[in-house]
């Protein structure tokens, strides 16, 4: 897919998804968001950038952590997501949190201006994730940290057939490289190539829990990355894709409820305190054939959908 078209699909798709996303995904993603924040450990007074902030769940938690002496900037390509996050920050009185619409691949931000950069389940949608990670390196101060999360291996995400089902209706690829960064050490190598020193890689096993078929379909189609395509389907197309999706996740149906397996990959890295040259993928940032400082598989029994 052309990069400009991919950005438009994501921007307007997530604009349409904002309400359903809040209803169906806030609870489901709380576990991985919490683990990312624990690993990132935003501290009082720090400056934090949250890329692909969505409705601001991670940004707002970081704002609480950095306190009034710190600052958090959440950016997202979708204006409706930014507006929702901004409204929530105002409701909570978090004056240290700001939100703007911005492209992750071209951050309109000064060099070396943040202590911590976060991105939770956003890099998969970026046409050039390597460019986005290079931008994170640029805006981090020397010694600054980055903690990133993506969806994991396709085979460990039971909902993965969704994209092929929708692609068959629109005759294109909605998210052509969605699971690429979750394969093996792809995300860690992406960080290393951008000049970040990788210290942690974790895989988190979880589940997406739905009370019934209607909830499972609402989360998949109206509240996620295929929302734009879904909005344009006629009733017959909607019926077809729902039936195919429910057939795909049928192995995880029990008594009408669904517990669909999901995996996340979390990587922590740091901009070196000295030197700015980009590392080779097999260079100092991630030694070839050498295990990272920590590689952990976290099995979480049953995530919630609330």
pLDDT digits (tens, 9 = 90+) for 38-57: 999 999 999 999 999 999 99
Q: Looking at 24-28, 270-274, 288-292, which range is the least confident one?
A: 288-292
Q: pLDDT class for 20, splitting at 50, 70, 90?
A: confident
Q: Residue 190 domain-assigned?
A: yes
pLDDT at 204: 97
Number of domains comprising the chain: 1
- pLDDT tens, position by position, 172-186: 665 667 899 999 999
The CATH number of the domain where 25 resides is what?
3.40.50.150
d(CA 22, CA 49): 21
Q: Residue 240 domain-assigned?
A: no
User: In terms of residue numbers, what domain contains 36?
Assistant: 3-153+173-205+264-284+293-299
Q: Residue 102: pLDDT above 70? A: yes
The mean pLDDT of 214-226, rounded to a whole number, is 87
Q: Residue 85: pLDDT above 70? A: yes
What residues contact 1, with CB distance under 8 A and at least 6 apart? 9, 127, 172, 173, 176
Q: Residue 26 domain-assigned?
A: yes
Q: Residue 230 domain-assigned?
A: no
Q: Residue 258 domain-assigned?
A: no
pLDDT at 228: 83
Q: Residue 279 domain-assigned?
A: yes
Q: Residue 126 domain-assigned?
A: yes
Q: Residue 159 domain-assigned?
A: no
């Amino acid at each position: 897919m052309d990069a400009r078209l991919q950005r438009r699909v994501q921007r307007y798709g997530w604009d349409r998804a904002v309400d359903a996303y809040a209803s169906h995904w806030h609870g489901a993603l709380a576990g991985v968001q919490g683990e990312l924040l624990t690993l990132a450990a935003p501290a009082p007074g720090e400056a934090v950038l949250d890329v692909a902030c969505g409705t601001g769940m991670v940004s707002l938690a970081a704002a609480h952590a950095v306190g009034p002496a710190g600052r958090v900037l959440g950016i997202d390509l979708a204006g409706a997501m930014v507006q929702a996050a901004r409204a929530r920050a105002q409701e909570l009185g978090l004056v240290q949190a700001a939100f703007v619409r911005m492209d992750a691949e071209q951050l309109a931000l000064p060099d070396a201006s943040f202590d911590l950069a976060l991105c939770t389940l956003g890099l998969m949608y970026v046409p050039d994730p390597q460019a986005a990670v290079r931008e994170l390196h640029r805006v981090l101060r020397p010694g600054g940290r980055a903690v990133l999360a993506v969806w994991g291996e396709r085979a460990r995400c039971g909902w993965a057939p969704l994209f092929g089902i929708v692609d068959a209706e629109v005759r294109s690829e909605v998210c052509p490289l969605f699971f690429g960064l979750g394969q093996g050490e792809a995300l860690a190598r992406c960080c290393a190539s951008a000049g970040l020193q990788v210290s942690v890689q974790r895989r988190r096993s979880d589940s997406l829990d739905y009370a019934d078929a209607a909830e499972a379909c609402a989360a998949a189609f109206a509240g996620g990355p295929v929302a734009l395509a879904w909005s344009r389907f006629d009733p017959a197309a909607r019926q077809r894709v729902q039936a195919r999706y429910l057939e795909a996740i049928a192995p995880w149906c029990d008594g009408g409820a669904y517990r669909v397996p999901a995996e996340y990959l979390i990587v922590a890295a740091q901009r070196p305190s000295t030197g700015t040259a980009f590392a080779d993928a097999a260079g100092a940032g991630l030694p070839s054939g050498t295990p990272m400082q920590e590689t952990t598989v976290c099995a979480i029994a049953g995530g919630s959908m609330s």
